[in-house]
Amino acid sequence: MLERYYKKILDARVYDVAIESPIDEANLLGRRYNNTILLKREDLQPVFSFKLRGAYNKMAQLSEEQLAKGVIAASAGNHAQGLALAAHKLGVKAIIVMPKTTPQIKVDAVRNRGAKVVLHGDTYDEASDHAQQLVVEKGLVYIHPYDDPEIIAGQGTIGMEILRQHKGPLDAIFVPVGGGGLLAGVAAYVKHIRPEVKVIGVEPEDAACLKAAMEKNRRVTLQQVGLFADGVAVAQIGKETFRVIRDTVDEVITATTDEMCAAIKDIFDDTRSIAEPAGALALAGLKKYIEQNDVQGQTLLAIASGANTNFDRLRYISERTEIGEKREAIISVTIPERPGSFRKFCRVLGKRNITEFNYRYGHQRDAQIFVGIQIAPDGNDREELVAGLEEKGYPVIDFTDNEMAKLHVRHMVGGHAPAELQEEVLYRFEFPERPGALLNFLTKLGQQWNISMFHYRNHGAAYGRVLVGLQASKSDRKLLKDFLAQLQYPYQEETDNPAYQLFLSGQTGA
């Protein structure tokens, strides 16, 4: 298998459209971690992503008869732009089916490359199904984004370049994983030439389809996929890619949203470029690998795979970066409700910087404050902060890893519900971010149950996050859950979340 892919990669046609991207040393990050850290800069490609390599290589292998029919793909981002550029270069008609939720910047980028864009459905799966219908109706040639030997070979040229450009010691290569085309190509080449070099895949924690497949030794389909790193938001690893990966990859690491945001900042600090979440995923995995294994003095390389992100998302990314860098703790602290209490609390913190403070009067005896506090990124400073406050008699709850607290509660702290509000339940939703989606959501939700609390904030992504309180009697809960299932929006109940209980529920502080 490796010999076959090695030859295919050597013969791959990518340089009619792609550049041989440079390898840059991340000096600031390397000094911080006491390792040599390298970045393979695929974000510098003409479409700001590695995807054009596989797309062009696949099209270059098609017959004249197939090219005359035209090509089609379903994609919400980088594959679409890569295929559009490849088709323009070869003078071939291209149709890209994109979900209606696709940010306008990506739709415009594909159209500017000369491809026809068809907007269909709210998700990639719906767009893909429609693309397959058009294949049958129009006789077009479907170009898969990852699960194709020619696509894999095209992406594998990145592995070839890495070994050609970097002749010195190389301990591990970190590769982002969605469907697995990039990882399969890089691993096939590297393991054939230098089997001692570790190849490590990195996935989002909430879209870890490869990790699930490796654990069960077969492909599985995730019921739900996180969308923050939309470039790798895939529910099932590819069939051919998994066949290659399972025999060539040393390890799979997962990264959280906060860790990806911190890696985006790391790339910016060293290169002054802004990676997309999937583009910084490999570096997030590299950092976690160092921390978990206490690695020092090694040479580690991460593939910076893309830079196609919306400007609107930078606010959200910046907000989450400090936590991802382990430089901020989010905590709830109970202090006495009397003059001078907050000043005394600040004195206990000493020289620590307060990054956020939320409070509203709610009880004559105790005050519940929501606080962000700067911490040192190394060691156990967060645990020491909590322990130190508890020693001084302050009840503390650590919300640093509480997703609801970070997404919603920190923007909502303003008082508990009135005592007369009874039987409130809380749900956190994700819904497709397109015109009319919020109105549709509210229209469907507000027909049977009273909305007692609502928080929505646009993060410039393809999906919206909503926190909703509903009044529903215990006898009515099963009917409510049946109704929520029919809505077909991913949701999670948060009624028992301590952030809600402490800051928003009417059942606390009475």
Whether residue 152 contacts residue 50, with contact meaning beta carbons closer than 8 Å, is answered with no
**Does residue 305 carry a catalytic annotation?**
yes
- Strand pairing category for 251-255 and 198-204: parallel
Give the integer Cα–Cα distance in Å for 318 and 259.
12
Whether residue 254 contacts residue 203, with contact meaning beta carbons closer than 8 Å, is answered with yes
Residue among 49, 128, 305, 332 flagged as catalytic: 305
Kindly report each contact of residues 122-128 with a partner whose C-beta sits within 8 Å and lies 24 or more positions away, as own/partner.
122/432, 122/434, 123/99, 123/432, 124/74, 124/75, 124/76, 124/99, 124/233, 125/235, 126/99, 127/74, 127/75, 127/76, 127/97, 127/98, 127/99, 128/74, 128/97
User: Which residue's entry shows tokens 């393979």?
Assistant: 40
Partners of 312 in the β-ladder:
none
The number of CA neighbours under 13 Å toward the Cβ of 313 is 22
User: Which residue's entry shows tokens 């910047």?
Assistant: 105
Give the integer Cα–Cα distance in Å for 77 and 51.
10
The number of CA neighbours under 13 Å toward the Cβ of 351 is 1
Which residues, in sequence order, are CB contacts of 160 under 8 Å at separation 6+? 9, 10, 189
Name the strand (E) or helix (H) holding 478: helix 477-487
**Does residue 51 carry a catalytic annotation?**
yes
> Which sign does the torsion angle of CA 153, 155, 158, 163 carry?
negative
Partners of 201 in the β-ladder:
175, 252
Residue among 8, 40, 51, 287 flagged as catalytic: 51
Whether residue 73 contacts residue 79, with contact meaning beta carbons closer than 8 Å, is answered with yes
Whether residue 45 contacts residue 303, with contact meaning beta carbons closer than 8 Å, is answered with no
Give counts: helices (H), strands (E), the chain.
21, 18
Q: Is 88 exposed, middle or buried, given 0-12, 13-18 or 19+ CB atoms closer than 10 A?
A: middle
Whole-number Cα distances in Å, 225 to 99, 204, 258, 315, 449 = 16, 9, 16, 23, 28
Active site residue ranges: 51, 305
